[in-house]
Structure 1
Amino acid sequence: SQSPASGGGWLLILIFLSTVTTLLVPPSHPGPSLCFFLQVLLVFAKEDSQSDAFWWACDRAGFRCNIARTPESAIECFLDKHHEIIVIDGRHSRYFEPEKVYGNNSFLSLHRLPDQEEPSVLPLLCAGFSRRFVENSSVSACYNELIQIEHGEVRCQFKLRACNSVFTALEHCQEAVEITSEDHIIQYVNPSFERMMGYHKGELIGKELTELPKSDKNRADLLDTINTCIKKGKEWQGIYYARKKSGDSIQQDVKIVPVIGQGGKIRHFVAIKRPRMDNNNQVNEIKKNKSHEHLYNTESHLVVTRNAEVSLCFVCFNVQRCKRDIITLLETQVINIINAAQESSPVTVAEALDRVLEILRTTELYSPQLASKDDDPHTNDLVGGLMSDGLRRLSGNEYVFNKNLSQSQLAIPVTLNDIPPSIAEMLNDEEHWEFNILELEAATHKRPLTYLGLKIFTTFGVCDFLNCSEATLRSWLQLIEANYHSSNSYHNSTHAADVLHATAYFLRKERVKSHLEQLDEVAALIAATVHDVDHPGRTNSFLCNAGSELAILYNDTAVLESHHAALAFQLTVRDSKSNIFKNIDRNQFRTLRQAIIDMVLATEMTRHFEHVSKFVNSINKPIAAIEETSTSTNIRNSPENRLLIKRMLIKCADVANPCRPLELCIEWAGRISEEYFAQTDEEKRQGLPVVMPVFDRNTCSVPKSQISFIDYFITDMFDAWDAFASLPNLIEHLSENYNYWKNLDERKCKSLRPPPPS
């Protein structure tokens, strides 16, 4: 096809759709292309406005783009990357002769300057080229041309390429699949159909359905009902008795899908059949099948479409429910399967699979399936206590929270210049991961958050960004710290200061800095400071079981995290002297507020695996793919990606204790254990459900609880964070600490430290 001329010379662009199996994710709606995986090779002998226009058009369309300057480098690049579209500059014959250099391939080529003859198109067509374009250095014109190519030739080619993958899925799926013509002549049955019905496909293909023996167990009008429904182009789903080759009748769950072809006419019918069993039969069948190490979901997902004379595309899978390693389950067995199916599927299939993915992104699917409590009570109690909202048994018991302190009740704020020399010297080391927050706690008489906050917020220019004075910042830090409970062994202002320190440390890492804006940094520092303000030293499950006012207020959902975020803003805006937001405009405040709230809510553990999995799939994997191809591009600095990075950052900062130096790790383990012991004591006193019975101070093994926590929550998350931010020292500490706890456990030691030598 030829685009309209717009001055200048002819630019002949010929397109090659490579025959390799690179897959395309078709857009689910009109508009800018979503085909991020589509690759374009620009073959230009020299850089000019035309090559620049195509480069920026590819970027705008979301395509991956490479540039080659010589025929040899173009061939080498193509063989290495297998591009879907290749643009060749044919305007200068002294550089390229596309029909000679790239014979038997299809490319996009630029031709004919104003003072030259128009080249013959026939040799180019014989060489496999399929399109030409009028020379035009407008990015919009190049973009429109690429989008037309994608929606035309490229998509058609990908649909054809998907067929092998589709029929492989058909051959291996567990459901019986039968495809017939509009006249009900059998055209295809898969191996599952053969096994279920006892026929060989050679006995069935080409026969009409009416030729096969029928079961007399169906209602007399059932066939008429089915035919009436499907001839109207509607799906039919129900129970049907079929007669096997042996003569036995089998009850089936059947779904019949009409396939609409060109002109809106029905061209095929696809029937998906599964033996119907009652619960007892299902259990017996599973016991008899030695390959069933896991229980499979009985629901299967079907998507069917038709492409011209090519038969149907069908995707079928079962979701395996795994007892362990939820990350592997989600990424490898579910999400990756669906993504792969999308990439190899036509538009209709991809759109339906998008809906499946939305279902899979619910929180429950990111929760681990644990073994029985007898197998590992420490793990079950720890995970269950952190990731559930309790039994929701409401009672008259209430947990009394700290009454909010007013500004007048606080001590006079200190300035950076007023900090005692010993504390100032400690703060000089705050940029190091091994910084000892517990020493700062002792030196500041349990007020480390104010001092560390002043240092870190000043270093990151928070006052300048918020346009607030240092006095206002000091007042705010003191106000927030005063609303942490110093009586808590773990969730106190020292923990908040520790999380603030980890957050600042992460924000200084080069890759993290390159993906976040200053507003993101300020939001992260504020969120770390307030993320546990007014924490009662009890879990969400306890508050729900006790029927606390907060649990009722927040509907037993993310109770503490919602309270921390809400109270932080209530305290901040209550008094102008401590309102760090008073001088920023409304839009900036709303954006900053939403970022802070989102990060605080991300610390709630029920969505832990969801956050980690999304980070790995959306951030780590694209980066790994880019690094593998040695391209200089990076993941897109989109608001969505920044959101995932900020959530991961504060989550890792919040639970970084196992990655601290060993002595700090041991101290924090003792503090959190004491807090859980105190909760168990109170649950017993008040007659509440004991959320984590293993945390009984008389019987608990602290090493076992730490091992379980690291295995279930820490290892996978910090592996993913390290892959992004490069934190080898944290991983080394984690390994050392894990070995320490394992050694204690192997010695049957239940305490924080080994017993003294006898």
Structure 2
Amino acid sequence: MGCAPSIHVSQSGVIYCRDSDESNSPHQTTTISQGTAATLHGLFIKTDAAETIPSVITYQSRHSRNNSCRDRKENSGGHVRIEAETQTSHTSVKVSSTEECVGPMRLTQEPIQVLLVFAKEDSQSDAFWWACDRAGFRCNIARTPESAVECFLDKHHEIIVIDGRHSRYFEPEAVCRMIRATKPSENTVILAVLPQKFVENSSVSACYNELIQIEHGEVRCQFKLRACNSVFTALEHCQEAVEITSEDHIIQVGHIHVQQCHSLRHRDRRKDSMDARSLSSRGSDAPSLQNRRYSSVARIHSMTIEAPITKVINIINAAQESSPVTVAEALDRVLEILRTTELYSPQLASKEDDPHTNDLVGGLMSVRGSQYLKMLHHSQLAIPVTLNDVPPSIAEMLNDEECWEFNILELEAATHKRPLTYLGLKIFTSFGVCDFLNCSEAMLRSWLQLIEASYHSSNSYHNSTHAADVLHATAYFLRKERVKSSLDQLDEVAALIAATVHDVDHPGRTNSFLCNAGSELAILYNDTAVLESHHAALAFQLTVRDGKSNIFKNIDRNQFRTLRQAIIDMVLATEMTRHFEHVSKFVNSINKPMASINSDCEGQANIRNSPENRLLIKRMLIKCADVANPCRPLELCIEWAGRISEEYFAQTDEEKRQGLPVVMPVFDRNTCSVPKSQISFIDYFITDMFDAWDAFASLPGLMEHLSENYKYWKNLDEMKCKSLRPPPPS
């Protein structure tokens, strides 16, 4: 028996053999077991592959370099002739198992098994083969879909790589489906080598790095999860007493030492694969490969659908291949950032450094609550009253509505807190909204009354006066030449309607408060953009409820759908959790490209008028209109600052009364510095956004007001004044 070669041939033509480090190709390697020289002649194996090679070749492990062997493949009428001869005797060294720690548990993990499904031998398949060798993995190569499935059912491979570069021999998607149809495959990682998504790379180091990422990522993670699950299952079904001991066999609580775990071959893992994280390479040339990340092999299920961020990551991975080490390390950092979920949320300093900014940003941008304690109930909507003809004094006041310095607070007083209806009639008429919607002025008037009655007049800030102020700013921006030339009439109508309804039925509390209080709205909208979703939904509910105020009743169905989508998108854009995303996209998609072709007017127009960029312009427009208070004349800026502060004070008071988490602790009416809060708001949200909007729409007057108002708040802060105005002279 000592002279017999260590070869087994299955009915399907599977060859199990051990390779030699001296050979040049994994397919030309056969190692004979311990013994004297031996020769195997006349072994023929049927194969369906185009190249006359076995349907499955199995590589077991690395072994001693004291031996050499040679194979000779001879083409003989569709058969393979294998002739092997050993020069010296040796003993193959089996790949050792590794030990994994899960807390106090130590588990034995068998070597990873990899299946390569390649119809023909080439440098790419060789690279993966030798990468498995270097990593200490067990590897099979299957030439046909049928042999791949048979081999997988026998070995339960942790990783499968399918050659999807061409469909001459088999369809890679079909192979994937065949394997996925088997029960053991539900958690196997299946990857594909594709002509575009994975640039062919015959570098063993590149393939090795890819496999190591997968092993250290999801394979190891899933092994630990399976181990814990198996232990719990075993304990659940155990009929005997269980002793928990230390390594010294001292009985204790809280430590489990698993001596044997033969069933933990981690063959069952989650069906969906996680993105493998790049880790430092290991092996003989590890130092030269550390901190390098190579091209990721695309998954089979993403062959037809690929997210833009995936394309970006793949481009960066490809660039690392030919980059110096310093550049590769910098790109590593870039990839770490890109893989985070909060790409547009700046990281704040510690809470002690700037509590005002932290509390303000946290209160405005957080949408998640920490507990559900109480249900809030909204009051019934007030019944709209009949609107008489506009009084002359109000009509005269409205003559100035096209000026940025228009005083909305004077209109509020003159209309007895009904400025939205009056201002809305004037602005909607000047933009021809009734003609566009094919509705009468009476219907528009009824709709404006209905919407205004649905705002809470008891709110100090989020009332119909704020809605009128945002409508005024929106109309002002729409009249700017560059904005006007970028949008069509439907966009203008959508913007005016969105501004009118953007805060309808606002309860005077933030999203975070509603989530913490477990309000009906928070539950309805799953703690996500709660108020903004409610404003948009309620606006359409109110509008279509009564034919007398349904301004959409007479427009075409397709036109209504387009208009509705534009309105909803703009209202949702006022939600602050995506503030930095909207601003960043606007700058990078519109401002920077336009600046790069400053003299090309036609090119700039093409940039502005694309559907994607028109969407960004509308979002930016309503966002700036919604928070334009710091850009108003000083007296209006001070009044709005006092109103929003009072609303936040009232929220803090209610949170304390109800025992809810205090979302913005600095807005305590007894200790808050209003100037500091305004400075933080301008620094964090306003300056960059209005700089970008000014660069697009040209708003020098607004920017001058912003600068003067900022100086005002700075002076108050330097005086240690916490109120809206400086103390009177003594």
Q: Give the TM-score taking structure 1 as reference length.
A: 0.57
| TM superposition shift of 1:392 | 3.5
Match of 2:428 in 1: 457
Give the counterpart of 1:658 among 630, 636, 640. 630
- Is the contact made by 1:261 and 1:267 (CA closer than 8 Å) also made in structure 2? no
Q: Deviations over 1:151-189 (max 9, x none)?
A: xxxxxxxxxxxxxxxxxxxxxxxxxxxxxx9869xxxxx
Relative to 1, partners in 2 of residues 1:549 and 1:231: Cα closer, same or farther, differing over 3 Å? same
**Hey, what's the Cα distance between the residues in 1 that align with 2:337 and 2:438?**
44
Distance 1:361 1:423 in 2: 55
Alpha-carbon distance change, 398 to 446 in structure 1, aligned in 2, over 3 angstroms: same
CA distance in 1, matches of 2:335, 2:605: 25
Change (3 A) 1:448 1:401: same
- Percent identity of equivalent pairs: 74
Aligned pairs for 1:549-698 within 5 A = 549-627=520-598, 633-636=604-607, 637-698=609-670
The Cα shift of 1:424 comes to 1.2
State the AA in 1 paired with 2:386.
I
- Equivalents in 2 of 1:228, 1:211: separation in Å? 25
- CA distance change for structure 1 residues 510 and 211 in 2, over 3 Å: closer, same or farther? farther
The one-letter code matched in structure 2 to 1:482 is A
Cα distance between partner residues in 2 of 1:628 and 1:239 = 58
Q: Note if contact 1:182-1:266 (Cα within 8 Å) is conserved in structure 2.
A: no
Which whole-Å CA distance do the structure 2 matches of 1:224 and 1:497 have between them?
66
Residue 575 of structure 1: how far off its partner (Å):
0.9
Q: Tell me the SS of whatever aligns to 2:343.
A: helix
Aligned pair count reads 484
Q: 1:540, 1:560 within 8 Å by CA — same for their partners in 2? A: yes
Deviations 1:686-712 (A, max 9, x none): 111111111000000111111111111
- What is the distance in 1 between the residues matched to 2:110 and 2:447? 74
- 1:267 deviates by 3.6
Give the conservation status (yes or no) of the 8 Å contact 2:674–2:723. Answer: yes
Residues 90-113 of structure 1 show CA distances to partners (whole Å, capped at 9, x for unaligned) of xxxxxxxxxxxxxxxxxxxxxxxx
> In the aligned structure 1, how far is the partner of 2:549 from the partner of 2:133?
66
Q: Which residue of 2 aligns with 1:403?
A: 380
Taking the aligned partners of 1:648 and 1:182, their CA distance within structure 2 comes to 61
Aligned counterpart, 2:504: 533
The answer for unaligned runs of 5 or more in structure 2 is 1-22, 27-61, 67-92, 99-108, 118-123, 137-158, 170-199, 218-274, 281-291, 296-308, 322-330
**2:381 partner SS:** coil
Partner of 1:19: none
The separation in 1 between residues aligned to 2:533 and 2:201, in whole angstroms, is: 53
How far residue 233 of structure 1 moved from its aligned partner, in angstroms, is: 7.1
How far apart in 1 are the matches of 2:716 and 2:134? 59
Are 1:468 and 1:583, in contact at CA under 8 Å, matched by a contact in 2?
A: yes
Aligned 8 A contact 1:386 1:605 in 2: yes
Distance 1:625 1:546 in 2: 49
C-alpha displacement of 1:390: 4.1
Question: Per-residue CA shift, 1:280-319, capped at 9, x if unaligned?
Answer: xxxxxxxxxxxxxxxxx995599xxxxxxxxxxx9779xx
* 1:268 counterpart (175, 198, 203): 203
Q: 1:470 to 1:716 in 2, by over 3 A?
A: same
Of the three residues 368, 375, 385, the one matched with 2:353 is: 375
Tell me the CA shift for residue 562 of structure 1. 0.8
Give the counterpart letter for 1:373 in structure 2. K
Q: Write the distance in 1 (CA, Å) between the matches of 2:357 and 2:682.
A: 10
Superposed CA RMSD: 4.3
The partner residue of 1:470 within 426, 437, 441 is 441
Residue number among 712, 716, 723 corresponding to 1:740 in the alignment: 712
CA contact (8 A) 2:63 2:94 kept: no
Match of 1:366 among 344, 360, 364: 344
Task: Name the CA shift for 1:228/1:623 in 2 (closer, same or farther; >3 Å).
Answer: closer
CA distance, structure 1, for counterparts of residue 317 and residue 599 of structure 2: 23
Specify the code of the residue in structure 1 equivalent to 2:379. Answer: N
In structure 2, C-alpha distance between the alignment counterparts of 1:730 and 1:316, rounded to whole Å = 49
Q: CA deviation at 1:234?
A: 5.7
Structure 1 pair 277–558 and aligned structure 2 pair: CA distance change class (3 A): closer
Question: Greater CA radius of gyration, 1 or 2?
Answer: 2
2:386 maps to what in 1? 412
Q: Which digits, 9 at most, give the CA deviation of each residue in 1:172-230, with x for residues without a partner?
A: xxxxxxxxx9869xxxxxxxxxxxxxxxxxxxxxxxx99999x9996599999579798
* 1:423–1:443 Cα contact (<8 Å) kept: yes
Which of 399, 404, 412 does residue 433 from structure 1 map onto? 404
Cα 1:344–1:572 change in 2 (3 A) is same
TM-score, scaled relative to structure 2: 0.59
Evaluate the alpha carbon distance shift between residue 224 and residue 733 of structure 1 in structure 2; reply closer, same or farther with a 3 A threshold: closer
Change (3 A) 1:231 1:737: same
The residue that corresponds to 2:394 in the other structure is: 423
Q: Which residue of 2 aligns with 1:389?
A: 367
**Structure 1 position 362, deviation (Å):** 8.1
Q: Deviations over 1:648-707 (max 9, x none)?
A: 110110001011111111110000000000000001111111111110000001111111
Distance in 1, Cα, partners of 2:565 & 2:336: 23
Residue matched to 1:706:
678
* Matching residue of 2:702: 730
For the residue of structure 2 that corresponds to 1:634, the secondary structure is helix
Aligned residue for 2:203, secondary structure, equals strand
**What's the CA shift for 1:613?**
1.2
- Checking the alignment, whether the CA contact within 8 Å between 2:294 and 2:318 is kept in structure 1 is no
Closer, same or farther in 2 for the Cα pair 1:544/1:630, shift >3 Å? closer
Shift of 1:635: 3.1
**Any residues of structure 2 matched to 1:231-242 within 5 Å, and which?**
231=125
Q: CA deviation at 1:633?
A: 4.8
- Compared with structure 1, are the counterparts of its residues 673 and 343 closer, same or farther at alpha carbon in structure 2 (3 Å cutoff)? farther
Aligned-pair CA distance for 1:386: 0.6
Query: Structure 1, residues 698-738: CA drift from partner, whole Å, max 9, x if none?
Result: 00011111111111111111111111111111111111111
